[in-house]
């Protein structure tokens, strides 16, 4: 039978029933699948609409290229992976879970799809919600539990992944309270909607269950609207639910039985076919064979028969049929074959026959062909324990069910209903109520009043199921067509190979065979794989257990997980007060942690190298200005502030005079450099500590750690003022003139010595150059009032320099005034790259670039910064360790390539000779900083070299583009070693 | 994501906290008097317990306060938290 058969020219759907189901037949949706234009109705899934046209085959298997078709009605389907093209390309969605929309275009894929090659313009977002009780699943169990909890006044979140509530009831014709079950569902959801503290979300999949009642769920908010989705509504939303108690009422997945050629289109789970009938009004075929080990497939057979399907046989592996169903079958002329199994199938694009044989000790003899276009299978049900298990819940094997069920409850989490192995409706209703009541006992809340009992007619009593993982081998069985994981094309032969190779645990077999690792994460294959492995090993399945259930329950798009945290919102961007000026000036940015810093300011035609050479020359020859606002600043106050800093820094800070500045180094207790910077003494009890840009947060935490844990007796408080102060180094021989012009301070050598600071106030009315700030922040007043400015004479370049500090509010105006005052001297704004070159020429280390956590102040050649007088400070004891005094420690030295034009790559290893010896090659150290110097008119580098200070003047080698080039080891300070410029 | 009970702020998500290693390892009274070996022990040697373990934590993205906790290193569960000025509780 071809899938095209019966398709009328008008696109009529011949397998659609005239009535029934939860679809809107008054509205017709057109969609494209694999190039064909078909029709469906609101309420359809892509799968139900395809089946209505008789289309079973959706694709081709990933490894073997075998035809595959729709095998279930929801997320447990291993087969119906499609690529959606319209309304927006998205790979690897299941036809069974795609709600049909007008204009949908999709096609089947062999396992993998393709990502869109255009940006996804949809919005994704996230919300947090807190609950007393989270109920996962709005089937009968979950609805009863949620209602019980809501009536007791609890804050309830009810989450369900389908388009409407009801769960399994959507696929049956069950009754509750003497009426259609879905009427009861409607009454319950209507009542839940009345409770302000109840959040009820449909189309929302709880996909991960983590610690302490934390559950992630993804809500598909607009997918069902297709191209009509409003642009201002997020397409998908991640709910971050934190619940005091979690009830997993996620239902159960029907389990197939494995037999030969069990993968043909038209082979379907019995419950799936029943759902297609009741929910979508679609017949999955005309002539069916039902193969079962369980009663539930009888309901499917009877319902399908009543709807017009010719059920040619129920093949029941059990020796006796359930007596309660026999009369129903007889009256419909459904033959019941007990003690028989389906051993195989015929057909290519679609199953055409089931091969049926008696199940004896071994299956033997020639099987009988029973022609059919639909082969329904049921091997029982697996509780959907995923969310229970993800949270750490253990499982136990229930031999009567042939399934793994939750083994008791967790602290915060219980499973109930089918998810706990309760498979009858009346039992589920009772279990939901029991579970909700137990939660309230647990939370110490008394449930007021007697809940009205819900009753259900659950049909005939159940006959025990048989447990059959796969049909036993016949003499001619080909295990390589007995599919266990259809998505992975993994078969019984693969499991047998794994067992033969010595695998003894299901985790090993999973990884060897890949069973359970595909898109569906083994929803239909996992437990079967355990069962078949147990058989092959001759061990009980209880011993083997299942593989680990891990999030996500079903696949979640990365876009949804990312939410709004994309692009510029991925990580906070920190900008300085003069960011707009840099932007207007065409700065090229460097990301320094979260900060945006100008790296250099190219002029037309300049690349980085020429721009930086120009900026360097301008600073050393005239004057430059840098935005150093990102430097960390910590206000340290209290009577014991000086004593505290003496313990923290390697050098003495208590002897610093008010008005003076000292450079300091902090070490960890192991003596390795942690951070460095300048310290301003603002008063007897107050210091302003400057840290590196990247070290600011860590240093603050470091200070708090010692103050709180070891030195609580010190009366000191610390707080970050990084954002409050903007810092503008004005650097170069003409900096004195610029700073004097703007601040009115006497910046002469005598009046303003190196390593001192002064406060002053400046005003627009003071007669200084007062250009209007063009880049003042919106809404900010022009600086027509007094502005407090602190000027610190420090230098990170070796040049005469003044750092102008001003509050962030007035910073743009002050920056502009400095730039304007510098115009006569050709003031040049410079960025981090030039800053790095200038400081490297002076061998001022960058913590984290020239150091790496294994470098002491002595290694940096900075023994002078380590106090000999202080009795103790952090790191002091370590400096006396033998290890810290080895002659072969790496020292910071300069490197001058013999070829002045060669710039070494930072990170390069340093070796001895011009040719490499046999490995292992002794490594002498590595290049930490490397630049081209305008001042020296040549390249240079800093490096950490073993015993470097004893090797000054020697030649070593560094690989450059595959060649070993000679470099000379030098003193690290290459420009103005006497410090005449800085001190001038 | 676990909830950690800050003794000052109450339960907060674990991303707000930083770990500080083993608790009750005091800075030596007089480091200068220690042998290299003893000093190295203070610097580098810590218990590697399987089970309940006394640890330092800081509510870094909250109140910035340090506190101690008994946490099971096998299950990750916090058994209890206590302030720095409180006695170390029984390990269970």
C-alpha of A419 from chain center: 28
Residue of A nearest to B28 (CA): A710
pLDDT surpassing 80 at residue A7: no
The reply to whether residue B27 touches residue A704, judged by beta carbons under 8 angstroms, is no
Q: Is A930 left (phi over 0), alpha (psi -120 to 50) or beta?
A: beta
Q: ipTM for the complex?
A: 0.97
DSSP codes, A270-296: HHHHHHHHHHH-B-S-SEEEEEESSTH
Residue A912 gets which letter from DSSP? Answer: S
Closest Cα in chain A, distance from residue B68 (Å): 10
B42, B43, B57, B76, best to mutate vs chain A, most A CBs in 10 Å:
B43
Closest Cα in chain A, distance from residue B53 (Å): 18
Chain B environment of A698 (Cβ under 8 Å): none
Nearest CA among A91, A63, A68 for reference residue A80: A68
pLDDT in tens, A654-691: 999 999 999 999 999 999 999 999 999 999 999 999 99
For residue A188, give every residue at least 6 positions away whose Cβ sits within 8 Å of its Cβ, in sequence order, or none.
A143, A144, A146, A147, A165
To 5 degrees, how large is the angle CA A655–CA A659–CA A662? 50
* β-bridge pairing A336-338 and A310-316: parallel
Q: Is the Cβ of A978 closer than 8 Å to some Cβ of chain B?
A: no
The model's confidence at residue A786, banded by pLDDT at 50, 70 and 90, is confident
pLDDT at A407: 94
CA distances from A903 to A607, A846, A898, A931, A945 (A): 16, 19, 11, 6, 18
Residue A528 gets which letter from DSSP? Answer: H
The model's confidence at residue A455, banded by pLDDT at 50, 70 and 90, is confident
Q: Please name the residue that has the structure tokens 């990580």.
A: A571
The reply to whether residue B64 touches residue A670, judged by beta carbons under 8 angstroms, is no
Residue of B nearest to A718 (CA): B64
pLDDT in tens, A402-432: 999 999 889 899 999 999 999 999 999 999 9
DSSP E strand stretches across A899-960? 909-910, 925-933, 938-946, 955-960
**How many whole angstroms separate alpha carbon A261 and alpha carbon A471?**
12
Nearest CA among A636, A662, A645 for reference residue A792: A662
Chain B environment of A704 (Cβ under 8 Å): 58, 64-66
* Helix A425-443 / helix A140-151 crossing angle, nearest 10 deg: 30
For residue A80, count other CB atoms closer than 10 A to its CB. Answer: 26
Chain B environment of A709 (Cβ under 8 Å): 56, 66, 84
CATH value of B3-83 in 3.30.2270.10, 3.40.50.720, 3.30.70.890, 3.90.1170.50: 3.30.2270.10
pLDDT surpassing 90 at residue A769: no
- At residue A901, the 3 state secondary structure works out as coil
Nearest CA among A447, A394, A564, A468 for reference residue A148: A447
The stretch A556-562 carries a mean pLDDT of 95
The reply to whether residue A669 touches residue B43, judged by beta carbons under 8 angstroms, is yes
pLDDT at A447: 64
Going from N- to C-terminal start, the domains of chain B cover 3-83
For residue A189, give every residue at least 6 positions away whose Cβ sits within 8 Å of its Cβ, in sequence order, or none.
A138, A143, A165, A200
What does the block give as tokens for A736? 């004195």
The model's confidence at residue A461, banded by pLDDT at 50, 70 and 90, is low
pLDDT in tens, A802-831: 999 999 999 999 999 999 999 999 999 999
What does the block give as tokens for A82? 């499609």
Q: Which of B36, B43, B84 sits opposite A670 (nearest CB)?
A: B43
pLDDT at A339: 94
Residue A537 phi, psi (nearest 5)? -85, -15
Q: Are A418 and A432 in contact (CB under 8 A)?
A: no
Is pLDDT larger for residue A779 or for residue A381?
Answer: A381
**How many whole angstroms separate alpha carbon A567 and alpha carbon A485?**
39
Residue of B nearest to A669 (CA): B43
DSSP codes, A297-358: HHHHHHHHHHTT-EEEEEEE-SSS--HHHHHHHHHTT--EEETEEEEEEEESSSEEEEEEEE
- At residue A602, the 3 state secondary structure works out as coil
The model's confidence at residue B80, banded by pLDDT at 50, 70 and 90, is very high
**How many whole angstroms separate alpha carbon A278 and alpha carbon A948?**
82
Q: What share of chain A has pLDDT > 70, as a percent? A: 95
pLDDT surpassing 60 at residue A562: yes
**How many whole angstroms separate alpha carbon A53 and alpha carbon A14?**
6
* β-bridge pairing A490-491 and A456-457: unpaired
**How many whole angstroms separate alpha carbon A842 and alpha carbon A882?**
30
Q: Is the Cβ of A211 closer than 8 Å to some Cβ of chain B?
A: yes
pLDDT in tens, A513-529: 999 999 889 999 999 99
Q: Is the Cβ of A881 closer than 8 Å to some Cβ of chain B?
A: yes
**How many whole angstroms separate alpha carbon A645 and alpha carbon A714?**
11
The model's confidence at residue A784, banded by pLDDT at 50, 70 and 90, is low
A877, A879, A882, best to mutate vs chain B, most B CBs in 10 Å:
A877
For residue A37, count other CB atoms closer than 10 A to its CB. Answer: 10
Size of interface A-B (CB pairs under 8 A): 52
pLDDT surpassing 80 at residue A203: yes
**How many whole angstroms separate alpha carbon A299 and alpha carbon A156?**
34
Nearest CA among B58, B50, B48 for reference residue B76: B50
pLDDT at A776: 45
Q: Is the Cβ of B34 closer than 8 Å to some Cβ of chain A?
A: yes
**How many whole angstroms separate alpha carbon A690 and alpha carbon A677?**
5
pLDDT at A5: 40
**How many whole angstroms separate alpha carbon A399 and alpha carbon A499?**
23
Q: Is A682 left (phi over 0), alpha (psi -120 to 50) or beta?
A: alpha
What does the block give as tokens for A897? 């390539």
Helix (H) or strand (E) holding B66: strand B66-72
Computed from CA positions of residues A96, A101, A107, A112, in that sequence, does the dihedral angle turn out positive or negative? negative
Chain B environment of A393 (Cβ under 8 Å): none
pLDDT at A870: 93
Q: Is the Cβ of A210 closer than 8 Å to some Cβ of chain B?
A: yes
pLDDT in tens, A154-168: 999 999 999 999 999
Q: Is the Cβ of A411 closer than 8 Å to some Cβ of chain B?
A: no
pLDDT surpassing 70 at residue A194: yes
Q: Which of A242, A710, A872 sits opposite B31 (nearest CB)?
A: A872
Chain B environment of A718 (Cβ under 8 Å): none
- At residue A978, the 3 state secondary structure works out as coil
Q: Which of A242, A709, A876 sits opposite B31 (nearest CB)?
A: A876
3-state helix, strand, coil in chain B (%, to 5): 15, 35, 50
């Amino acid at each position: 039978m071809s899938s095209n058969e019966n398709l009328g020219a008008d696109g009529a759907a011949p397998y659609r029933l005239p009535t029934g189901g939860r679809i809107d037949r008054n509205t017709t949706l057109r969609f494209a699948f694999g190039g064909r234009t078909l029709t469906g109705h609101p309420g359809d899934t892509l799968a139900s609409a395809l089946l209505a046209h008789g289309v079973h085959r959706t694709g081709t298997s990933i490894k073997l290229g075998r035809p595959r078709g729709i095998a279930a009605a929801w997320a447990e389907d291993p087969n119906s992976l499609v690529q959606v093209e319209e309304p927006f390309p998205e790979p690897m969605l299941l036809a069974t879970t795609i709600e049909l929309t007008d204009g949908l275009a999709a096609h089947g894929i062999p396992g993998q799809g393709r990502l869109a090659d255009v940006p996804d313009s949809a919005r994704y977002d996230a919300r947090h919600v807190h609950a007393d009780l989270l109920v996962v699943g709005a089937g009968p169990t979950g609805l009863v539990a949620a209602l019980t909890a809501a009536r007791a006044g609890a804050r309830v979140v009810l989450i369900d992944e389908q388009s409407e509530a009801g769960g399994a009831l959507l696929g049956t014709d069950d009754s509750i309270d003497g009426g259609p079950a879905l009427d009861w569902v409607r009454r319950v959801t209507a009542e839940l909607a009345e409770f302000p503290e109840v959040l009820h979300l449909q189309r929302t999949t709880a996909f991960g269950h983590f610690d302490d009642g934390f559950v992630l769920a993804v809500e598909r908010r607009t997918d069902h609207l297709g191209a009509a989705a409003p642009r201002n509504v997020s397409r998908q939303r991640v709910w971050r639910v934190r619940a005091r108690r979690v009830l997993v009422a996620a239902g159960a997945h029907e389990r197939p039985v494995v037999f030969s050629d069990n993968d043909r289109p038209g082979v379907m789970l019995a419950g799936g076919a029943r759902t297609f009938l009741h929910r979508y009004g679609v017949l999955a075929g005309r002539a069916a064979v039902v193969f079962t080990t369980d009663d539930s497939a009888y309901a499917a057979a009877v319902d399908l028969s009543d709807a017009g399907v010719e059920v040619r046989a129920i093949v029941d592996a059990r020796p006796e049929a359930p007596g309660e169903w026999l009369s129903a079958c007889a009256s419909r002329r459904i033959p019941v074959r007990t003690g028989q199994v389906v051993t195989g199938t015929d057909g290519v694009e679609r199953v055409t026959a089931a091969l049926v044989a008696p199940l004896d000790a071994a299956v033997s003899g020639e099987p009988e062909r029973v022609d059919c276009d639909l082969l329904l299978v049921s091997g029982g049900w697996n509780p959907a324990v995923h969310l229970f298990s993800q949270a750490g819940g253990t499982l136990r094997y229930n031999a009567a069910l042939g399934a793994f069920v939750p083994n008791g409850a967790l602290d915060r989490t219980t499973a109930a209903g089918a998810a706990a192995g309760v498979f009858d409706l009346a039992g589920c209703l009772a279990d939901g109520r029991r579970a909700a009541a137990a939660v309230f006992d647990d939370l110490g809340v008394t449930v007021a009043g007697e809940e009205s009992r819900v009753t259900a007619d659950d049909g005939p009593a159940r006959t025990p199921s048989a447990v059959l993982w796969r049909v036993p081998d016949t003499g001619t069985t080909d295990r390589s067509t007995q599919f266990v994981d259809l998505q992975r094309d993994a078969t019984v032969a693969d499991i047998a190979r794994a067992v033969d190779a010595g695998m003894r645990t299901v985790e090993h077999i999973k990884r060897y065979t890949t069973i359970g690792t595909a898109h569906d994460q083994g929803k239909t294959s996992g437990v079967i794989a355990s069962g078949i492995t147990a058989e092959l090993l001759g061990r009980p399945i209880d011993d083997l257990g299942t593989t680990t259930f891990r999030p996500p329950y079903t696949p979640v798009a990365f876009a949804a997980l990312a939410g709004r945290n994309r692009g510029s919102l991925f990580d906070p961007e920190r900008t300085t007060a003069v960011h707009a000026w840099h932007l207007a000036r065409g700065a090229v940015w460097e990301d320094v942690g979260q900060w945006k810093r100008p790296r250099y300011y190219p002029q037309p035609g300049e690349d980085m190298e020429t721009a930086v050479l120009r900026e360097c020359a301008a600073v050393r020859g005239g004057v430059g200005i840098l935005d150093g606002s990102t430097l960390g600043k910590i206000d340290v106050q209290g009577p014991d502030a000086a004593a505290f800093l003496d313990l923290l820094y390697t050098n003495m800070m208590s002897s610093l005079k008010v008005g003076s500045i000292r450079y300091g180094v902090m070490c960890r207790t192991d003596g390795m450099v942690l951070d460095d910077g300048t310290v301003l003494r603002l008063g007897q009890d107050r210091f302003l500590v400057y840290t590196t840009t990247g070290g600011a947060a860590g240093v603050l935490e470091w200070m708090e750690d010692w103050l709180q844990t070891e030195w609580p007796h010190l009366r000191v408080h610390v707080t970050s003022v990084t954002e409050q102060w903007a810092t503008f180094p004005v650097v170069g021989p003409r900096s004195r003139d610029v700073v004097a012009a703007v601040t009115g301070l006497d910046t002469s050598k005598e009046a303003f010595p190196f390593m001192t600071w002064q406060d002053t106030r400046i005003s627009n009315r003071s007669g200084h150059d007062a250009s209007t700030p063009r880049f003042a922040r919106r809404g900010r007043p022009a600086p027509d009032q007094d502005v407090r400015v602190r000027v610190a004479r420090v230098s990170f370049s070796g040049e005469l320099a003044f750092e102008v500090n001003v509050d962030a509010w007035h910073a743009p105006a002050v920056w502009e005034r400095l730039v304007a005052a510098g115009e006569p001297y050709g003031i040049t704004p410079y960025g981090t790259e030039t800053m790095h070159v200038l400081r490297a020429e002076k061998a001022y280390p960058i913590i984290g670039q020239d150091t790496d956590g294994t470098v002491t102040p002595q290694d940096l050649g900075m023994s002078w910064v380590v106090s000999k007088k202080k009795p103790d400070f952090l790191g002091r004891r370590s400096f006396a360790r033998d290890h810290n005094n080895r002659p072969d420690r790496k020292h910071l030295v300069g490197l001058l390539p013999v070829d002045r034009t060669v710039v070494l790559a930072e990170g390069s290893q340093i070796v001895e000779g011009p040719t490499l010896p046999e490995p292992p090659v002794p490594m002498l150290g590595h290049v930490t900083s490397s630049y081209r110097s305008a001042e020296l008119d040549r390249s240079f580098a800093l490096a950490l070299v073993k015993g470097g200070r004893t090797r000054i003047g020697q030649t070593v080698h560094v690989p450059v583009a595959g060649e070993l080039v000679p470099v000379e080891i030098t003193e690290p300070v290459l420009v103005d070693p006497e410090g005449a410029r800085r001190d001038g | 994501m676990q909830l950690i009970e800050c003794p000052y702020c109450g339960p907060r998500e674990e991303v707000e906290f930083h770990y500080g290693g083993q608790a009750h390892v005091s800075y030596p009274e007089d480091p200068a008097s220690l042998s290299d070996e003893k000093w190295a022990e203070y610097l580098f040697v810590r218990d590697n317990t399987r089970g309940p373990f006394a640890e330092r934590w800081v509510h870094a993205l909250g109140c910035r306060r340090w506190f101690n906790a008994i946490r099971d290193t096998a299950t990750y569960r916090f058994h209890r938290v206590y302030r720095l000025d409180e006695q170390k509780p029984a390990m269970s």
